[in-house]
Amino acid sequence: MSTTRTSRSPRRADPRLTERQIAVRLAHAEAHCRERGAQLTAQRAEVYELLLRRQGSAKAYDLQHDLQQRRGRVAPTTIYRALEFLVEQGLVHRVDALSRFVACSHEPDEAEAHHPLFLVCSTCERTTELHDDAALAALARSLEAAGADFEQSAVEVKGLCRDCREHAHPSGETS
Angle at the Cα of 137 from the Cα atoms of 127 and 132, rounded to 5 degrees: 35
DSSP symbol at 153: S
Which residues make Cβ contacts (< 8 Å) with residue 164, sequence separation at least 6? Answer: 121, 123, 124, 126
Coil, helix or strand for 172? Answer: coil
Q: What is d(CA 57, CA 94) in angstroms, rounded to the nearest whole number? A: 10
Q: What is d(CA 104, CA 87) in angstroms, rounded to the nearest whole number? A: 9
CATH of 115-175, one of 3.20.20.70, 3.40.50.1820, 3.30.1490.190, 3.20.20.30: 3.30.1490.190
pLDDT at 2: 32
**CATH code 3.30.9.10 for 13-112:** no
Domains of the chain, by residue range, sit at 13-112, 115-175
The pLDDT tens digits along the chain (175 residues) read: 333 333 333 444 446 889 999 999 999 999 999 999 999 999 999 999 999 999 999 999 999 999 999 999 999 999 999 999 999 999 999 998 889 999 998 765 554 567 788 888 989 888 888 888 888 888 888 888 998 877 666 788 898 988 899 888 776 555 5
Q: Considering the entire predicted model, what is its pTM?
A: 0.78
